[in-house]
Amino acid sequence: MIFSGLYNKAMSWAHHPHRERYLVGVSLFESFIFPLPTAMLMIPMVIATPDKAIRLATITTLMSVFGAAVGYLLGWGAMSVIEPWIEQMGWLNQLESARIEFEHYGVLAVGIGAFTPAPFKIFTITAGMLSMSFIPFLLVSLVGRAAHFFLIALLMAWAGPKMEPVVRKYIEWLGWATIVLAIAGFLIHKYV
């Protein structure tokens, strides 16, 4: 049971006295290197402590934007060094798709990447690689990430505690359904 183990681990972190430190680290690194979405850690924390939803969303947003700045700087100054790693992670196609999106949408591509569940690191690194203006990049990242994390946190604070037993019961189905939807979304984006 893959997802129940991950869920139980995330719930144990949600009750840990240093949970905010874990959230800072995951939020920071997710924007430029870490492969798992930050929301996967924030959601159980909000469910465990719904009265801290705003605080947790604020921490997540600010650290994610700080991580986005690091991703931008990596793309801007170290692309030749990190490109083999991107290729090894299997993200070259996503990087090329992001580059095309940037050419078409400009800074709005960052907003789309910041708000959606797409791997934000691809957008942060691509923005740096293409030398996008840094201040608009940061502002759009802040708005998109805040909208993303506050929406999730407030929704989980409102419905999460009531839904936790249901989520726990169906976590394996929910986990696999999320993966299927992500793959379907990727395929639709790539081929349609």
pLDDT value at residue 192: 60
More confident residue, 127 or 79: 127
* Domain map (residue ranges) of the chain: 2-191
Confidence of residue 121 (pLDDT cuts 50, 70, 90): confident
Q: What is the pLDDT of residues 56-100, one digit of tens each?
A: 999 999 999 999 999 999 888 887 777 787 788 777 787 777 778
pLDDT for 139: 96
3-state secondary structure of 50: helix
Quote the CA–CA distance of 39 and 41 in Å, as a whole number: 5
| 42 vs 25: CA distance, rounded Å | 12
Segments in the chain forming alpha helices (H)? 2-14, 19-30, 39-48, 53-77, 79-88, 92-105, 108-115, 120-129, 134-191
pLDDT greater than 70 at residue 186: no
